[in-house]
Structure formats: structure tokens, C-alpha cells
Amino acid sequence: MQPRRLPCFYVPEYKTMDVYLPDSPHLRNVIAILLGLMVSVIVVGTVEMVGHAAYPPPAGVDLEDPEQVQEMMANAPAPALLFVIAAWGLGLFAGVFVAAILGADQAGFCVSVLSLVFLSMVVMMLVQIPSPAWFSVGGIVILVPAGFAGWNLSQRLLNSWRSQREHAAASTVAEHHNAESIEEDG
């Protein structure tokens, strides 16, 4: 079975970098979803790490003690909690983008599964760690525009790649036709 070619990272001055994914749509979907989740987790962790650097937790707080974590969340400054909401939004944006690009033909399915898994992780965190109501609502609400933005960007990029590939194919056919007509004239 020959793997299908997915052109990626097109830079006009350079050649395209080709990524080969298996022809099996099921395996391709699993890869797209898992890589999308990995990217989401990395982005969330990175943004939350920046938030913890900007607003470190109080000294002496045992993060393993649920009561201390609950008290810390109740007394956390709003910008510290906004970092978490931003991390969730950016994480879903990046994950949806990756899953939609890699699951090109079945991007909707990949993005739906990834979004439901991500939403369940956010809800689980909100249930486990009591937090202010505005934080819970904001954490859920941010997921909708973030997911749609990741989807929109991925579809624009895929359409751009498709049109570039079609244009390249059309120009190759035209060059071949011109070469044949020159040979016939000569």
C-alpha cells in the first residue's frame, strides 16, 4: 500500500516539505487526533507556565492538598486566572488547527473528537478544582471561538495549498503542451 502525499509548509523560494501519512483513513484520523491533542497540551502547558511565572502561587502552598488549592483559586488575582483561560483557548486553537490539517479529508470528524476530548478535560478540571463562576463560564465559552478560529485558519491554509497545487499542475501541463508544439514546429 502506497502512502498518500500531503504537501506541507510551502515556501515559494524553496521546495515543499512533503509529509507522508498512511492511506488508511482510520489510522490517519487517529494520528491527526493524537497529534492535535499533543499540540494542545504543549500549548496549554506553555501558556500556563508563563502565567505561573508572571503570577507565582503563594509560598508554602501544597498543590497536592485540595483545600489549599481551592483557597488559592479563590484568592488568585483575575489576571492569573485569565492566563489559564487564554491557555485553554490557545491550546484548543492549535490542536484544532493541527487535527484539521492532518485529517484533511475527514477534518470535521477529527476536530469534533479533539474538541470533545478537550472540553471534557476542561470540565473535569473545573469540577475537581472549585473556582469562581466567571472563570468556569469564561473557560467554557472561550473554547467556541478558539475552535472555530483554528478550523477557519486550517481550511484557508488547505484551500491555499490546493490552489497552489492545481496552479502548479496546470502550469506543468501548459509547459508540456508548449514544448510539444515547439517540437512539432521545429
Residues 36, 104: contact at Cβ < 8 Å? no
Q: From CA 15, how far away is CA 51, in angstroms rounded? A: 39
- pLDDT score at 58: 84
Distance CA 186, CA 184 (A): 6
3-class DSSP state for residue 155? helix
pLDDT value at residue 53: 93
Taking the C-alpha atoms of residue 68 and residue 61, their distance in angstroms, rounded to an integer, is 6
CA distance 120 to 128: 12
The pLDDT tens digits along the chain (186 residues) read 444 455 454 445 555 556 665 667 788 889 999 999 999 999 999 999 999 999 988 888 888 888 888 888 888 899 999 999 999 999 999 999 999 999 878 889 999 999 999 999 999 999 988 888 999 999 999 999 999 999 999 999 988 988 888 877 777 766 766 666 666 665
What pTM, to 2 d.p., does this model score?
A: 0.77
d(CA 101, CA 108): 10
Residue 56 phi/psi, 5-degree rounding, is -65, 150
Give me the pLDDT at residue 42, please: 97
